[in-house]
Amino acid sequence: QVQLVQSGAEVKKPGASVKVSCKASGYTFTDYYLHWVRQAPGQGLEWMGWINPNSGDTNYAQKFQGRVTMTRDTSITTAYMELSRLSSDDTAVYSCAGGPGGKSGNWFDPWGQGTLVTVSS
Amino acid sequence: QSALTQPASVSGSPGQSITISCSGTSSDVGSYKLVSWYQQHPGKAPKLMIYEDNKRPSRVSNRFSGSKSGNTASLTISGLQAEDEADYYCCSYAGSSTWVFGGGTKLTVL
């Protein structure tokens, strides 16, 4: 079945960077865009951007431009989201999701299980 | 890109119907037929409930329906059940290949 499996929880210090992985299986990796969404504790969902696994093209939410980098490795069907210059405001669960673009429909599904990133000194 | 506006909470008794609103602008909700809705239980990943304003995936109960008027989209749940208690999020295309979510609504089944 279609599945997105993410890397484990991370604890980082302010100013550091974090890189979260999202391994896809059960479908042709290059057919569907992968989006990243985060959710701070007790807060709503926040869209961060997407990567086209076929071309490597990306599009980031204005809020994260200059601080986020989304990449992929097609040989291992894995996408990555790296966020730099972390602050406590970046403490959140980061999730990858199949989303609009490529052969996907105009919705977000499936979702990875989420990766908790805690930023603390 | 400002988050779409949803009520923080709504509640209803079993069997009743409730509606959750999602207010955007003419740059997002009002311009595209691309609003989707997600259900999220605590500690779980969001689940797609409605897409393209009012379409329902086959695996989703027909008790869930979506609609839109101008810049405001709505999710209606009829015949409320205990298992419907969850957080609900709307999402809209916002142009330039970007997307925006709502702040979320906590549904309590009394």
The 10s digit of each residue's pLDDT in A11-30 is 999 999 999 999 999 999 99
Tell whether B95 is within 8 A of chain A (Cβ): no
Q: For B55-86, what is each residue's pLDDT tens digit?
A: 999 999 999 999 999 999 999 999 999 999 99
B93 contacts chain A (CB < 8 A): yes
CA distance A64 to chain B (A): 12
Alpha-carbon gap, residue A22 to B84, rounded angstroms: 29
- Largest distance between two CA atoms of chain B: 41
User: What pLDDT score was predicted for residue A20?
Assistant: 98
**What are residue A39's phi and psi, to 5 degrees?**
-140, 110
Alpha-carbon span B43 to A77, nearest angstrom: 26
Nearest to B40 by CA among B27, B31, B50, B49: B49
Residue A109 distance to chain B (closest CA, Å): 7
User: Token pair 């504790």 is at which residue?
Assistant: A41
Interface-testing mutation among B1, B27, B97, with chain A (most A C-beta atoms within 10 A): B97
Q: In whole angstroms, what is the distance from residue A65 CA to residue B87 CA? A: 28
Beta-ladder partners of B33? none
Q: Is residue A104 very low, low, confident or very high in pLDDT (cuts 50, 70, 90)?
A: confident
